[in-house]
Structure 1
Amino acid sequence: MAINYRLEGHAAVVTGSTSGIGQAMAGALAEQGVNVMLNGFGDAAKIEADRAALAARTGVQVLFHGADMSKPAQIADLIATAHKAFGRIDILVNNAGVQHVAAVDEFPDEKWDQIIGINLSSVFHATKHALPVMKGQGRGRIVNIASAHGLVASPFKSAYVAAKHGVVGFTKSTALEVARAGITVNAICPGYVKTPLVEMQIGDQARTRGISPERVVEEVILAAQPNKAFVEYDQLAGMMLYLVSDLGASTTGAAYTIDGGWTAA
């Protein structure tokens, strides 16, 4: 039986949605009849081609805003532009993120600031500006893409782990504030997803270690995931669609793991 999420005519902002997880989330929403504001970096021609193709395939409005998610003023303009274009904002998916790996005592200051700014502070700024719109509507759905690293740690990822733990905490606190306003706030904590960035890491690790890509996947990338399988985009999108629909109306302040058992240990 097909599930009807009843999202036709809703409007969403998805940050970091020109590739990877964010692009999959935006596509899943558009396929459910949701008008979508895309955001992210990348080749301008490819972004426009992808935007136009998604709009043509789904028949919804698909727009793009190039806000730098480390800049609060640009984030405010992203939300304001979406509200003006769509007349409403029903869904906010905070997905934008970056990564850098280094020992704490060797971690570049500018990389720390960048990761905290994009992975954590942008969630605050986007939420801050979307909430008045959602409160005025009497309904809203906020989904923050955290990580298994929002619940457990790995070495050499201090900024990323700190930021994602912060996202989970912010999710809980915000959910409590708006629990009676018809607004839910939840986090999704994926394990490793085979994004373009991860695919590049597999090749790099194989060359560096002198082992096959298959061994890199099982022994290095997915070492912490008991099922030894990447999380799929549609698995994340399925959880997101549940959370933003009326099916998830009583679900708020939660951090859902989709990590192949990583955080069960």
Structure 2
Amino acid sequence: MQAATLSGRTALVTGSVQGIGHAIALALAGAGARVAVHGPADDAQAAQAVTDMRAAGAEDARAFVSDLRDAAAIEAMMDAVEGWGGADIVINNAGMQRTLRFAEIDAGTWNDILAVNLSAPFHIMQRALPGMAARGYGRVINIASVHGIVASVSKAPYVSSKFGLVGLSRVAALEYADAGSRDAGGVTVNCICPGWTETAIIEPQIRERAAQHAGDRDAAIASLLAEKQPSRRMSRPEEIGSLALWLAQPIAHNVTGAAIPVDGGWTAQ
């Protein structure tokens, strides 16, 4: 267990019953934060996520299952979090992706991806940031993507949402840059932009590529990495968690408005 550097802080992590969000939530829990986990989970999955947080060192943990496509559901979730003391740290991690050529995208897919990946972070940030500013400390860490920096084919809604999330984060960072102080920790808004990372969201792309390699999953992954990521190795979710934990601490008071790639050199090309 890490030193309780976030003891007394409350963190809301969307999309945290699995993958990157779960790893970030565990990192914050290990630093002593109270953690609000969130995701499309059944009762057993939600209970397990809460148990995981407490086992990692969280002072307390609660689960929320709000549909992030629904602004009213987001408002209800934020009301509940404020009733719990308010979010000092917000990690907007929940995301949707579908790979479709431009001409194949239907309105429902477009609307759902933009709602979860961009509109939901906006609504959550709009509710959380004023309280952070009033307390003099707050962290918003939006999990964007390498696709918030560069584009790829067959990902128009996803790329649009992630470019938008980077821009939204920069505006919020500017508006709240002078809140708080160095000693209090200030209020910062940043994006982490992962490249290929070992999560469920990339499985459809792996399966599609595997079909081109006689069903060989390892060959499919190697092909995807060789195409984009010069390091030719994936990141692990807990590596993203460690970066988020650093950004959440007072030492990062002057890191704001950044979009930090974790992409093995993808965006350096």
Tell me which interval the TM-score lies in, with the shorter structure as reference length: over 0.9
Q: Secondary structure at the match of 2:227?
A: coil
Distance 1:119 1:254, change over 3 A: same
AA aligned to 2:74 is I
Q: Deviations over 1:74-111 (max 9, x none)?
A: 112212211212x2321000111001111111101100
Task: Between 204-213 and 107-116, report the one with greater CA deviation.
Answer: 204-213
Moved over 6 A (4+): none
Pairing 1:257–2:261 present? yes
1:199 deviates by 4.3
Q: 1:84 matched to which residue of 2? A: 83
- Contact residue 30 and residue 60 of structure 1 kept, 8 A: yes
User: 1:4 & 1:30 partners in 2: Cα distance?
Assistant: 11
- Indicate conservation of the 8 Å contact 2:132/2:138, yes or no: yes
Q: 2:234 aligns with which of 214, 224, 230?
A: 230
1:7 shift after superposition: 1.1
Distance, in Å, in 2 between the alignment partners of 1:22 and 1:221 is 22
Deviation at 1:42, TM superposition (A): 2.6
- The percentage of counterpart residues that share the same residue type is 36
Describe the superposition over 1:105-141 as per-residue Cα deviations: whole angstroms up to 9, x where unpaired: 1101100000011000111000000012112211111
Deviates more, 1:130-139 or 1:161-170: 130-139
Alpha-carbon offset, residue 228 of structure 1: 0.7
Is the CA contact (8 Å cut-off) linking 1:222 and 1:230 kept in structure 2? no
Aligned residue number for residue 102 of structure 2? 104
Q: Deviations over 1:191-210 (max 9, x none)?
A: 01111233464345324541
Question: CA shift at 1:247, angstroms?
Answer: 1.4
Can you list the C-alpha shifts for 1:29-48, whole angstroms capped at 9, x where unaligned?
A: 00110001111103321221
- Contact 2:35–2:58 at 8 Å: present in 1 too? no
- Relative to structure 2, which stretch is displaced further, 205-214 or 32-41? 205-214
1:1-265 to 2 correspondence within 5 Å?
Answer: 6-85=5-84, 87-181=85-179, 182-199=186-203, 201-203=205-207, 205-207=209-211, 209-221=213-225, 223-265=227-269
The alpha-carbon distance between structure 1 residues 177 and 5, as it changes in their structure 2 partners (threshold 3 A), is: farther
Bigger shift: residues 192-201 or 129-138? 192-201
1:156 and 1:207, CA in 2 relative to 1: closer, same or farther beyond 3 A?
A: closer
Q: Unaligned 5+ residue runs, structure 1?
A: none
For normalisation by structure 1, the TM-score amounts to 0.93
Inter-partner Cα distance in structure 2 for 1:5 and 1:201: 39
For 2:47 and 2:221, the matched residues in 1 are separated by: 33
Whether contact under 8 Å (2:145, 2:162) holds in the other structure is: yes
Give the 3-state SS of the residue equivalent to 1:18 in structure 2: coil
Does the Cα contact within 8 Å between 1:69 and 1:118 map onto a contact in 2? yes
Q: Which amino acid aligns with 1:173?
A: V
Contact preservation (8 Å) 1:5, 1:245: no
Distance 1:234 1:216 in 2: 23
**Alpha-carbon separation, structure 2, partners of 1:5 and 1:242:** 13
- Provide the C-alpha distance between the structure 1 equivalents of 2:8 and 2:194, rounded to a whole number of angstroms: 28
